[in-house]
Amino acid sequence: MTVDDPTSSASAGSGGSGSGPVTPIGRDQHTPHHEVDHTVQPTADPLAIRLEQLILGAERRYTPFQAARSAGVSMELASRFWRAMGFADIGQAKALTEADVLALRRLAGLVEAGLLSEPMAVQVARSTGQTTARLAEWQIDSFLEGLTEPPEPGMTRTEVTYPLVELLLPELEEFLVYVWRRQLAAATGRVVQVADDEEMVDRRLAVGFADLVGFTRLTRRLEEEELGELVETFETTAADLVAAYGGRLIKTLGDEVLYCADDAGTAAEIALRLIETMEADPQMPELRVGIAFGTVTTRMGDVFGTTVNLASRLTSIAPKDAVLVDGAMAEELARTGAAPVSEKEAEAAPEEGTAYRFALQPMWQRPVRGLGVVEPWSLTRRKPKLPG
């Protein structure tokens, strides 16, 4: 389905190719045209325009209406795709490139071929946009900003930026595609190993929250730079440990980390490693962790459901430098032989037999907001059984 551009009689041309993300979007077809300044450009800075052309690999040549028409999609659908990717309205400025047209054409083609439904195509656009937006912001704020410090007196940052981006762009692009393919392969492998089709969406996982204790007080006491370094250290350490021991980092929230694992033992090991590592750093505050095991709904790389909420609540009531787990997590650890059902069973185990990795201690039942009464269990690392 095509939409004519009521603001221009020029037809959308073809030619020039480029790659890279789509830039801003236009208002949809329901916007009164007298409210749109058709001469507005997203930026008039010469260096910014040169950098944009370098990164996108193409010059601006289309208005949003022209891009939608050239791609063969309605302006309404084009606006939905662009907004899902996180791009702002730009009226009918001529700011889009051939890459924007190709991106629209690809998404619409997947829908037309029946490979994706329209809502799923919008989700693909949104998840990709949100993830890459965060990545791009991080690279500019923490990476390029530091590298573009003028190497010689008298040079400006502007003089350094363009050649640096020109050198880094192809390398970073190749690395991004490599990491994405690796992550896609790992995620696909996890899904196809699930025996039950329903569990491909609603899966049974161990979900853990790790939370820095007293973070609010720290924000009032530390300078901004010190606080930023502390948060970066925490997030980096947590991300490395979660990955190293077989978990998946879902997200970081400054003073809190959310991760999950396919099995209870992995989640428990990560929790204890986090606390042990943070305890070894005198600059870091105490940590507390809560883990719950159960059915989890996954959407766009995030996790939802009662299991996630319970893990969060357990974290909020956990003592400093301690791990609390729910009853389902305790049962799963016992079922898999990672922890004894009771201390009596542990004492009866032969010296050279089951090597329990963890110890569980039931705590007092208590009401948890929104989830009723729960019986948390304290999780610790089990000391080796001494002979004799």
**Overall average pLDDT of the 347-367 stretch:** 75
Range of the domain at 118: 1-131
Q: In whole angstroms, what is the distance from residue 245 CA to residue 113 CA? A: 41
Q: Please state the domain count of the chain.
A: 3
38 falls within a domain:
yes
pLDDT at 72: 92
pLDDT in tens, 169-182: 899 899 999 998 99
Cα–Cα dist 267/271, whole Å: 6
Co-location of 26 and 98 in the same domain = yes
pLDDT at 267 over 90: yes
Kindly report the number of other CB atoms within 10 A of residue 37's CB atom.
10
Domain match, 85 and 175 both:
no
Q: Is residue 47 a contact partner of residue 162, using CB atoms and an 8 Å limit?
A: yes
- Asked whether the predicted pLDDT for residue 239 surpasses 80, the reply is yes
On whether residue 348 sits in a domain, the answer given is yes
Asked if 126 and 136 sit in the same domain, the reply is: no
Residue 25 in any domain: the answer is: yes
Domain stop point among 175, 192, 209? 192
Q: How confident is the model at residue 193 (pLDDT cuts 50, 70, 90)?
A: low
Are 218 and 361 in the same domain? Answer: yes
Confidence band of 1 (pLDDT split at 50, 70, 90): very low
Mean pLDDT of the chain: 80
Q: Are 246 and 260 found together in one domain?
A: yes
Query: Is 349 contained in some domain?
Result: yes
pTM over 0.85: no
Least confident of 201-205, 260-264, 352-356, 359-363: 352-356
387 located within any domain: no
Least confident of 148-152, 218-222, 379-383: 148-152
List all residues 6 or more positions away from 377 whose beta carbon is below 8 Å from its beta carbon.
324, 325, 326, 327, 329, 330, 360, 361, 362, 363
Q: State yes or no: pLDDT of 290 exceeds 80.
A: yes
Same-domain status, 287 and 357: yes
Do 247 and 332 reside in the same domain of the chain? yes
- Each residue's pLDDT tens digit, 216-235: 787 777 787 788 888 888 98
The verdict on 87 and 13 lying in the same domain is: yes
What pLDDT does 347 receive?
A: 62
Structure tokens at 335: 């079922």
Average pLDDT of the residues in 43-60: 82
Domain containing residue 350: CATH number: 3.30.70.1230
Per-residue confidence (pLDDT) for residue 114, from 0 to 100: 92
State yes or no: pLDDT of 70 exceeds 80. yes
The CA-atom distances, in angstroms, between 42 and each of 67, 92, 103, 119 are: 16, 11, 20, 28
Has residue 388 been placed in a domain? Answer: no
pLDDT value for 366: 80
For the segment 369-375, the average pLDDT, to the nearest whole number, is 82
Are residues 50 and 82 both part of a single domain? yes
Which of 192, 209, 225 terminates a domain? The answer is 192
209 against 197, higher pLDDT: 209
pLDDT digits (tens, 9 = 90+) for 273-282: 999 999 998 8
Q: What is the pLDDT of residue 102?
A: 93
8-35 tens-digit pLDDT? 333 333 333 333 444 445 444 443 333 3
pLDDT recorded at residue 354: 58
166 and 120 in one domain?
Answer: no
Residue 166 clears pLDDT 80, i.e. is over it: yes
Point out which residues pair with 89 in neighbouring strands: 25
Provide mean pLDDT across the span 157-175: 84
Question: Do the beta carbons of residue 24 and residue 52 sit within 8 Å?
Answer: no
Question: In this model, does residue 325 exceed pLDDT 60?
Answer: yes
Three-class SS state of 37 = coil
Give the range among 113-117, 190-194, 339-343 with minimum mean pLDDT: 190-194
Mean pLDDT along residues 248-267 = 91
Same domain, 236 and 126: no
User: Between residues 157 and 221, which one has the greater pLDDT?
Assistant: 221
The predicted structure's pLDDT at residue 294: 95
- Residue 386 covered by a domain: no
Please state the rounded mean pLDDT for residues 324-339. 94
| Higher-pLDDT residue of 41, 160 | 160
Task: Round to whole Å and give the CA distance between 118 and 259.
Answer: 30
Could you tell me if 67 and 114 lie in one domain?
yes
